[in-house]
C-alpha cells in the first residue's frame, strides 16, 4: 500500500494546480476516489484476519482488487475463495 499512496502523491505533484479543463476534472474525481480507496484498503488490510489477503493485479487501478479468503477451520477449511472487487466511478458520491 505504501507504493500506491506514494504514486498518488507523485501524480498530484505532476498535475500541478487544478485547471478548468473538463477532462482534468474527471481525472481529479478519479484521483479523489483513489485517495479514499488507499485509506480504506489500508484500514481493511490492517483489520483482516491472517486467512484473508488483498491483491492489486494492476497497481495503477486502485478501484479494482482481489480478496482471497482461505479458511483455516470449519466446513470450508482448505478451500480458497477469490472475490474480484471493482469500485464504481461514483464511489462515495452516490
Query: What residues does each domain of the chain span?
Result: 51-88
Alpha carbon 62 to its chain centroid, in Å, reads: 4
Q: What is the pLDDT, as a whole number, of residue 18?
A: 46
Give the CB-side neighbour count of residue 41, counting CA atoms within 13 A. 26
Kindly report, residue by residue over 7-48, the tens digit of the pLDDT: 555 555 555 444 445 444 444 444 577 888 888 888 888 899
Grid cell, residue 37, equals 480507496
Q: What is the pLDDT, as a whole number, of residue 80?
A: 96
Kindly report, residue by residue over 66-94, the tens digit of the pLDDT: 999 999 999 999 899 999 999 888 888 77
Share of the chain above pLDDT 90, in %: 27
Give the CB-side neighbour count of residue 66, counting CA atoms within 13 A. 10
Amino acid at each position: 500500500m505504501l507504493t500506491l499512496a506514494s504514486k498518488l502523491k507523485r501524480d498530484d505533484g505532476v498535475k500541478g494546480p487544478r485547471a478548468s479543463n473538463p477532462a482534468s476534472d474527471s481525472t481529479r474525481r478519479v484521483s479523489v476516489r483513489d485517495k479514499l480507496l488507499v485509506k480504506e484498503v489500508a484500514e481493511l488490510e490492517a483489520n483482516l484476519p491472517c486467512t484473508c489477503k488483498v491483491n492489486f493485479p494492476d497497481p495503477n487501478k486502485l478501484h479494482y482488487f482481489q480478496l482471497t479468503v482461505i479458511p483455516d477451520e470449519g466446513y470450508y477449511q482448505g478451500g480458497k475463495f477469490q472475490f474480484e472487487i471493482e469500485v464504481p466511478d461514483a464511489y462515495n458520491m452516490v
